[in-house]
Amino acid sequence: MEYRIEKDTMGEMQVPADRYWAAQTQRSYQNFQIGDEVMPREITRAFGVLKKAAALANYALGKLPEEKKNAICAACDEVISGALNSHFPLVVWQTGSGTQSNMNANEVIANRGNELAGAKILHPNDDINKSQSSNDTFPTAMHIAAVMAIEDNLFPAMDKLIATLQRLEKENEGIVKSGRTHLQDAVPIAFSQEISGWRNMIEKTKAQLMLALGGLKELALGGTAVGTGLNAPKGFAEEVAKQVSVLTGKAFVTAENKYHALTAKDELVFAHGALKALACNLMKIANDVRWLASGPRDGLGEIFIPENEPGSSIMPGKVNPTQCESMTMVAVQVMANDVAVGMGASQGNFELNVFMPVIIYNFLQSVRLLADGITSFEKNCITGIKANKEKMKHNLYNSLMLVTALNPYIGYENAAKTAKKAYKENISLKEACVALGFLTAEKFDEVFRPEEMAYPQK
C-alpha cells in the first residue's frame, strides 16, 4: 500500500495515499481498534448535510469566500450521496464527543474539495469547521440522522402496515370469534375488532413518534464548544438551521438553549421511548398472529398465514411462523437498545455528554430494524392473513364463557353453576342450563346469540 504524509498539531502521520482522510482520522483509526461497528452511514450523510449548511451560512454571513463555499458544497454533495463512504472508517467506540468523526468529515471534505478545486484552498479546521465545534456538530448530526431515519424510512413502513390492517378489518367484518384474556376463553369478539386493536397500536405509536420529532428538529449547531457560541458569528445558528431545512426538506430550527442541546440527550431518550413502545406493540401483534395461526391441527388454528419456507430439517411438511419470530427478535433488540440509550444519556457531565456515539448507534439501529422488520412482516405475513371461519365458529360455540350472555336472565351465580356443570359433564351450555332448571330450551335459544355478543350496543 502506498502512503502519503499528513500533519496535524501533534506531528506527522502516514495515511493511505488513496484515502481523503488525514492525520486526525488516521490517529483515531489506529488508536481505536475496537469492534467492527463503523459509525452509522446515516451520521456520515448528516455530516455532509450540516457541513454544506455551515458553508452556505458562513458564506451568507460574509465569513467564507465563494470559491471555498463552492468547493465545500461540491465535496459535501458527494458525502451526502454516499460516494465517499469508504473514506469514513472510524468505529463507534471512539471519543464520546464524536470529535474524531467530526474531524474525519472535515478532513475528507477539505481534501476532496481541494481536489475538485484544483488547488489547496481548504483547511479542515479553518474552513470546513468554521463557526463550529465537534461539541455542537455531532449532536446536530445525531438529530438530523434521527429525523431523516424516522420520517423517510420508518413512517412509510408503518403507514403500509396500517393500510394493510385497515384492509383486513374490512375483509373480516361480521366474522365473530372467541375472545381470550389471560390465555383463557373469554366473551366473543369480531375478528375485525381484534385487528382494529392491532391497527390502532401502530397509529398510536406513530403519533407518539411525531410528538417526539419536535425536540429532534432542534439543532445544537451554533453553540460551539460549551454552548456560548464562541467563534460563531451572530446569526449563524439561525442561518445554518435554515440551510439544513432547505437541504433536507424538513423544518429544523436552532435550539433555544444551546447549553441544554450540548449536554442533554433527553430528546433522543424520549423518541427512543416511542420506538420502544412501537417494539412492544409489534411484539404483541406478532405473538397474537402466531398464537392464532398455531397448529395446523393441534393449536388454535383460527387464521392462516403465508407459508414461506420449510420449517424443519427433520419434520417433513412443517411450516413455522418465521416472520413473527423475526419481528419479535427485532422487538427484543429495540427494547435492549433503549437501555443503552437511556444510560448513555444519563452521563452528561457539566457542559457535554460524552456517550453520544453509542447513543446514536443504538438509536439508528432501532429505527433501521423496525423499518425493515415491519416491511418484511407486512409483506410476508400480515398481508396474507386469512380467517379460518370454520375453526373460529367451532371455537366460539365451544366456549363456556358464552354463559356470560345469561347473566341478565339467571344471575351471575347460576350462570357460573351452568358453566361448571357443562365443563364437568362435557355437555353444552344449553343442556346444563335446562338440566339445572334455570331456563327452558325455548327461552335459552331466544337469549343465547353468540354472534350478537360482539356488538352489544347495536
272 is catalytic: no
Give the mean pLDDT of 250-271.
Answer: 98
pLDDT for position 385: 98
Span 276-305, pLDDT tens digits: 999 999 999 999 999 999 999 999 999 999
pLDDT for position 348: 85
Count of H helices and E strands in the chain? 17, 10
Annotated domain spans of the chain: 3-130, 146-175+186-230+257-390, 399-454
Superfamily designation of domain 3-130: Fumarase/aspartase (N-terminal domain) (1.10.275.10)
For residue 11, give the H/E element and its range.
Answer: strand 11-16
Give the mean pLDDT of 189-199.
Answer: 98
Q: Which CATH number fits domain 146-175+186-230+257-390: 2.60.40.10, 3.30.465.10, 3.30.9.10, 1.20.200.10?
A: 1.20.200.10
Q: Is 458's pLDDT higher than 80?
A: no
pLDDT for position 124: 98
Q: Is 35's pLDDT higher than 80?
A: yes
Q: Which of 143, 182, 394, 399 is catalytic?
A: 182
Give the mean pLDDT of 60-75.
Answer: 98
pTM, rounded to two decimals: 0.96
312 is catalytic: yes
pLDDT for position 312: 93
Give the mean pLDDT of 347-371.
Answer: 97
Q: Which of 312, 313, 326, 428 is catalytic?
A: 312
Superfamily designation of domain 399-454: Fumarase/aspartase (C-terminal domain) (1.10.40.30)
